[in-house]
Amino acid sequence: MFAALARQFGTPEGFYRNAEKALPFLIAGTVLFLAAGLFGGLYWAPPDYQQGEGYRIIYAHVPAAWMSLFVYSAMAAMAFCGLVWNFKMSAVLACASAPVGASFTFIALATGGIWGKPMWGTWWVWDARLTSELVLLFLYLGFSALQAAIPEKRAAWRAGAILLLAGFVNVPVIHFSVDWWNTLHQPATVLKIGGPSIHPQMLYPLLAMAVAFMFLYAVCAALSAQAELLKRGMVLR
């Protein structure tokens, strides 16, 4: 089974062909869950008893923050597979994922600032969660800069893969920062021991938006990977 999957998705030709088939379904999933999440988050969910209507920015902020960690973790896994087993698609998928992950990270930081201004009275503080998320943005940009700066693709990928693996230590720091240090950022309300402490009418749209963002990542990464394969001459259209 693993060998069959590797033949279908692990080779440039197999990935390109299957991505072409999957894209309509991925786009449909993005639209469906995005519509459900936006309707639920903007209309169905009740106002927060403390923050009123202003809390609704979580439906962009929180999924973007989750995806910033998910995409980087996926890229680190690609780096490991590329360095250890020399999977051909690892470098292509990591390069395709970097701009998407950086965009999610920027959205998380920007919406966090917009949310923080009325709640904290400032756009930015050097809070542990915010600072480590900013470091994550620099890691994404650093990986992309290495790919652009080193002409030889194999050397660029090895340098980028090492950066991804070294930078992965920042992922648990981001996740656990609100537990390890006394920060302004609120503690976890969804992914925590004991279950979510958020009203189901607020939680379900948030989960729908998270799924929509995952579909969106898949769409963007697939399209970017296809373009990268064509650019490198690894497939013939």
Q: What is the pLDDT of residues 13-56, one digit of tens each?
A: 889 999 999 999 999 999 999 999 999 999 988 887 778 787 89
Q: Assign 198 a pLDDT band (cuts: 50, 70, 90).
A: confident
Amino acid at 183: T
Q: Contact at 8 Å (CB) between 10 and 88?
A: yes
- Whether pTM > 0.85 for this model: the answer is yes
Q: Is the pLDDT of residue 3 over 50?
A: no
Residue 11 has a pLDDT of 86
Q: Looking at the 3D structure of the chain, how many domains does it have? A: 1
Residue 180 has a pLDDT of 59
Segment 110-116 shows an average pLDDT of 89
Whether residue 1 is contained in a domain is answered as no
Return d(Cα 35, Cα 29) in angstroms, integer. Answer: 10
Q: Which pLDDT tens digit goes with each residue over 160-190? A: 999 999 999 999 998 887 665 566 556 566 6
Tokens describing residue 235: 């497939």
Tokens describing residue 208: 């729908």
Whether residue 138 is contained in a domain is answered as yes
Domain with 163, as residue range(s), is 12-232
Whether residue 224 is contained in a domain is answered as yes
Query: Domain of 221: which CATH number?
Result: 1.20.120
Q: Contact at 8 Å (CB) between 123 and 113?
A: yes
Residue 192 has a pLDDT of 56
Whether residue 106 is contained in a domain is answered as yes
**Largest interatomic CA distance in the chain:** 57
Whether residue 177 is contained in a domain is answered as yes
Whether residue 219 is contained in a domain is answered as yes
Residue 26 has a pLDDT of 97
Tokens describing residue 204: 């379900």
Residue 54 has a pLDDT of 78
Average pLDDT score over the chain: 87
Whether residue 160 is contained in a domain is answered as yes
Whether residue 237 is contained in a domain is answered as no
